[in-house]
A = this chain, B = another copy of it.
């Protein structure tokens, strides 16, 4: 931390600030200028509130130098993190595609979608079993029964099972069924959930909250790594802004920013990021062009009758066409998307 004293700060005030900083565990480097005295604070302390220092008498400004996170920082693993989850590699040359319906509705429904997305080159299958809905009167998901369906269908097509965990109480049960535990945007700062997930040794996909800064996303990931769980991938899925033509504003610049600040892979979710089906293909292409390590997309054979989020869901034909475009975009940034049909096993 750097503390800049006011032009007129007296020696007593300066000593008070130094005492406080020493108490926090910092070594102090004092630099007395013509107008301002500047205190450079060096140390491993990361738990302090800069505002507390700013409010001390005689202080003009205080700035945190070091980032408030450690384990998720790029410096911790300069080469970047690669997660191998079954046949899916996240953070490597391949752009990982995870697709599927918003909600698991039935085994028939999921099987039909899985067959198509696997054939088109997806590596993972998404499907919600517990649906957090804004209204208490909306469809709330099939629960554990949905997860059993997800597991069976994923095994059938060699797809990675991705599903959202809503509460720390669900974790033990979910570990039996899913390969990647997704933390939704609304739970990005559910610290009880994060702390418990940090104790697992199971991949986690952490979505950015709609009002979370990139720094806050990284701090939430730090909860997971601090607990010992290093198998973490992040996901940009749109932030809330004044523009409401689209449901959210997909912040694609977060992709290169996260890749500079952190070693964790970063995906994009153009379905939630736009909220409108016809905007998903251009934004999916843009995300890959910006360097995304993967995409999470909602796909259904009959979006008009999906039980949730149909408006932002691609149909099977649209998805297959998009996958072909993505292969060309990926090639232009020296990456690839898994070939069509390769993943379909049945």
- Contact status B213-A311, CB under 8 Å: no
Q: Which of A31-39, A81-89, A155-163 contacts B (4 or more CB under 8 A)?
A: A31-39
| B242 contacts A255, C-beta separation under 8 Å | no
Q: With a CB–CB cut-off of 8 A, which chain B residues contact A54?
A: 311
A236 CB to nearest B CB, Å: 11
Q: Which of B60, B168, B195, B255 contacts A136 (CB 8 A)?
A: B195
The stretch of A92-100, A109-117, A174-182, A215-223 that contacts the partner chain: A215-223
Known: A192-B166, A253-B246, A291-B282. A216 touches B33 (CB 8 A): no
State how many residues of chain A have any CB contact under 8 Å with chain B: 108
Complex contacts, A69 vs chain B, CB 8 Å: 135
Task: State whether A36 touches B65 (Cβ < 8 A).
Answer: yes
Number of copies: 4
Cβ of A15: which chain B residues have Cβ within 8 Å of it? none
Selected from B47, B55, B245, B251, the residue in CB contact (under 8 A) with A215 is B245
A167 touching B192, Cβ below 8 Å? yes
For the residues of A in contact with B, the DSSP-based class is: mixed
Contact among B63, B187, B193, B333 for A63, CB-based, below 8 A: B63
Contacts A134-B219, A135-B219, A239-B241 supplied; 10 other A-B pairs, CB < 8 Å = A29-B33, A49-B311, A69-B135, A132-B192, A169-B169, A211-B240, A242-B244, A256-B279, A288-B289, A329-B332
* Sample (7) of A-B pairs whose CB atoms are under 8 Å apart: A136-B223, A213-B243, A239-B242, A252-B252, A253-B282, A286-B290, A331-B332
Contact B56 A304 (CB under 8 A): yes
Write out, one digit per residue, whether chain A residues 15-36 have a CB within 8 A of any chain B CB (1) or not (0). 0000000000001011111111
Determine the distance from Cα of A220 to Cα of B146 in the docked complex, in whole angstroms: 25
Segment touching B, from A119-127, A269-277, A338-346: A269-277
Q: In the complex the two chains form, is A311's CB within 8 Å of B242's CB?
A: no
Contact indicator per residue, chain A 247-264, by CB within 8 Å of chain B (1) or not (0):
001111111110010000
